Chains A and B, each alone.
Chain A
């Protein structure tokens, strides 16, 4: 099963020019960036509509783009679904029909692959979100896969972490995920779709502060003696993504704080309006 494109060439470069441990470019959009920050009378996007999510994030690992939106904590749609001492977490995964990647035409709501992905995300976050703080409520997470080029699960988990942060849901720690694979004896990080097809790979989700692993997903065979090396490097890579995510969060929070203090006084608000016109 050899492919024409070398996974790792003699110079130590991968098919897309990355080195072994190099991650793809990480793009993070936290919150609804398309919503203007200044108040514009003629654009009702500045007043959030009732269907607007409480938190949202778009994460792109290279060509893989996944968005997550969080609704809640809110009252459950069905009263019987309420749990008396904690919040119910529900994750729905949708795949855009033109996202490409996986074979097969269209994946609807009941698709097995998507349900499995949703269940993996749900079980990952059930132990991380402080559900005990929100009794009798529901937190809905909608994950949309916009583009696929490998590492869908890692992108989904990272975007859900950011969206939950954006929504202000209490968590014990962040969850950061990365995928890693093994090419003969070389460990590769953040695999593309092409690389995922050609080597055993795993996705690890780690809570970086405590170092606990909340998800380990592997759908191939990997020798037990090699596993440790792959796993260790993946756990190390997680801290890099964590730092990147934290810098985006702090930037966003700073701008939010700035806009709150800007609009604190009526005089400043008027100044903002004049700028618009």
Chain B
């Protein structure tokens, strides 16, 4: 990565951060976020099932969810999620194409590993991803929605991880799954099968048709369902189950004595040690403790073990604030 800051500039930033009170060049406190702008729905990506654009300072990420019907194996039984992060060439204008690809792959793998369905081993029940992928099932063992979560980093002015996860969370919360019902094939009754179409009137034909193709009302339990059809409802479908449990990331930029949140591009270079913490919360109202979903320690340097657990706890409070702010904006709960 091309060095954009001189040693003097870096030391200036670190010295002012570690002074008392800590000073940041844009006047924020150490744990203040920049203004978070949110746009969602059709104004962002009209062709997607759910989409959102998050802008934090100069960092801008668009995420969109598309649902596509896929044939699934009997043992799989639920929908899958595929994540992909693309970085626009404009996001990293000072990097070569190969370096941009590396960043893309890093972010994709982080997202994919967070969002792939796993069975949790504790007593709390299933993880949010398995709850979510169950709600993507159309016909158990046969057809399910595959969720394509595409995120595009349009520009990066620091703290891209947090913004990426915020955008993905907002897009998933904005997603509506089209309502489906199973269609099953019923054996035509004896009386109707002996009649010929030509002999009967038009009304009888319709009746017969309705007899053969029965719509299984209890769609999910219809064992003999042959196919599915889309319900014609006024809304565009239901929300994804467990969407409120969708995770957020909080990046702590760690200095020996303190940490800062939402670092700008310059601060990220001066404070290279980043701790990305990913949390999921059941609901904010119950005040239940969050689930810790992932952690990445990025950049050179190290954190003492004793210090780490404190950071994880503090990260949880920040994440909780972030989630509740987003929930208010997205009108969840």
Listed in ascending order, the chain A residues whose CB lies under 8 Å from chain B are 34, 40-45, 47-53, 63, 69, 71, 77, 92, 94, 96-100, 106, 109, 140, 142, 144, 146-147
Known A-B contacts A97-B84, A109-B97; A44 and B89 likewise in contact (beta carbons under 8 Å):
no
Q: Are A45 and B27 in contact, CB atoms less than 8 angstroms apart?
A: no
A sample of 27 inter-chain contacts (CB < 8 A) reads A42-B28, A42-B32, A42-B34, A43-B26, A43-B57, A44-B28, A49-B57, A49-B264, A51-B58, A51-B91, A51-B93, A51-B155, A51-B265, A63-B46, A69-B90, A94-B86, A94-B89, A96-B86, A96-B150, A97-B150, A98-B64, A98-B66, A109-B89, A109-B101, A146-B45, A147-B45, A147-B46
7 closest pairs, A vs B, by CB?
A: A49-B157, A142-B90, A98-B64, A100-B47, A97-B150, A49-B58, A44-B26
Question: Is B55 among interface residues, defined by CB-CB distance under 8 A?
Answer: yes
Question: Is B62 among interface residues, defined by CB-CB distance under 8 A?
Answer: yes
Question: Is B110 among interface residues, defined by CB-CB distance under 8 A?
Answer: no
Q: Which residue of A lies closest to B155 (CB)?
A: A51
Q: Which residue of A lies closest to B24 (CB)?
A: A44
Q: Are B4 and A34 in contact, CB atoms less than 8 angstroms apart?
A: no
Question: Is B293 among interface residues, defined by CB-CB distance under 8 A?
Answer: no
> Whole-angstrom distance from the CB of B50 to the nearest CB of chain A?
10
| A94 and B64 alpha carbons, distance in the complex (Å) | 16
Q: Which residue of B lies closest to A35 (CB)?
A: B58
Question: Is B96 among interface residues, defined by CB-CB distance under 8 A?
Answer: yes
| A244 and B152 alpha carbons, distance in the complex (Å) | 30
Q: Are A48 and B58 in contact, CB atoms less than 8 angstroms apart?
A: yes
Q: Which residue of B lies closest to A96 (CB)?
A: B152
Listed in ascending order, the chain B residues whose CB lies under 8 Å from chain A are 2, 4, 26-28, 32, 34-35, 37, 45-48, 51, 55, 57-58, 62, 64, 66, 84, 86, 88-94, 96-97, 101, 148, 150, 152, 154-158, 264-266
Query: Which of A43, A100, A146 counts the most B-chain CB atoms under 10 A from its CB?
Result: A43
Q: Which residues of B contact A92 (CB under 8 A)?
A: 89
Q: Are A49 and B89 in contact, CB atoms less than 8 angstroms apart?
A: no
> Whole-angstrom distance from the CB of B136 to the nearest CB of chain A?
18
Question: What is the predominant secondary structure among interface residues of chain A facing chain B?
Answer: loop
| A99 and B51 alpha carbons, distance in the complex (Å) | 12
Query: Which of A48, A97, A140 counts the most B-chain CB atoms under 10 A from its CB?
Result: A97
> Whole-angstrom distance from the CB of A273 to the nearest CB of chain B?
12
Query: Which of A48, A51, A53, A99 counts the most B-chain CB atoms under 10 A from its CB?
Result: A51
Q: Which residues of B contact A45 (CB under 8 A)?
A: 34-35, 55, 57-58
Q: Are B26 and A41 in contact, CB atoms less than 8 angstroms apart?
A: yes
Q: Which residue of B lies closest to A147 (CB)?
A: B46
Known A-B contacts A97-B64, A99-B47; A44 and B93 likewise in contact (beta carbons under 8 Å):
no
> Whole-angstrom distance from the CB of B204 to the nearest CB of chain A?
30
Known A-B contacts A45-B57, A97-B86, A97-B152; A51 and B92 likewise in contact (beta carbons under 8 Å):
yes
> Whole-angstrom distance from the CB of A118 to the nearest CB of chain B?
10
> Apart from A43-B34, A44-B157, A49-B58, what 15 extra A-B contacts exist at CB < 8 Å?
A40-B35, A42-B27, A42-B32, A44-B34, A49-B57, A49-B264, A50-B4, A50-B157, A52-B157, A53-B155, A77-B94, A98-B47, A98-B48, A106-B84, A147-B45
Query: Which of B45, B46, B64, B89 counts the most A-chain CB atoms under 10 A from its CB?
Result: B89
Q: Are A53 and B93 in contact, CB atoms less than 8 angstroms apart?
A: yes
Q: Which residues of A contact B46 (CB under 8 A)?
A: 63, 147
Q: Which residues of B contact A43 (CB under 8 A)?
A: 26, 34-35, 57
Q: Which residues of B contact A100 (CB under 8 A)?
A: 47
Instruction: Choose among A34, A53, A97 the residue that contacts B90 (Cβ–Cβ < 8 A).
Output: A53
> Whole-angstrom distance from the CB of A231 to the nearest CB of chain B?
33
Q: Which residues of A contact B265 (CB under 8 A)?
A: 49-51
Q: Which residues of B contact A53 (CB under 8 A)?
A: 90, 93, 155
> Whole-angstrom distance from the CB of B34 to the nearest CB of chain A?
6
Q: Which residue of A lies closest to B100 (CB)?
A: A109
| A43 and B33 alpha carbons, distance in the complex (Å) | 9
Q: Are B62 and A49 in contact, CB atoms less than 8 angstroms apart?
A: no
Q: Which residues of B contact A50 (CB under 8 A)?
A: 4, 94, 157, 265-266
> Whole-angstrom distance from the CB of A57 to the nearest CB of chain B?
12
| A40 and B37 alpha carbons, distance in the complex (Å) | 15
> Whole-angstrom distance from the CB of B37 to the nearest CB of chain A?
7
| A97 and B88 alpha carbons, distance in the complex (Å) | 11
Q: Which residues of A contact B156 (CB under 8 A)?
A: 51
| A225 and B36 alpha carbons, distance in the complex (Å) | 57
| A106 and B158 alpha carbons, distance in the complex (Å) | 27
Known A-B contacts A47-B26, A51-B265, A142-B88; A98 and B35 likewise in contact (beta carbons under 8 Å):
no
| A45 and B148 alpha carbons, distance in the complex (Å) | 31
Q: Which residues of B contact A48 (CB under 8 A)?
A: 58
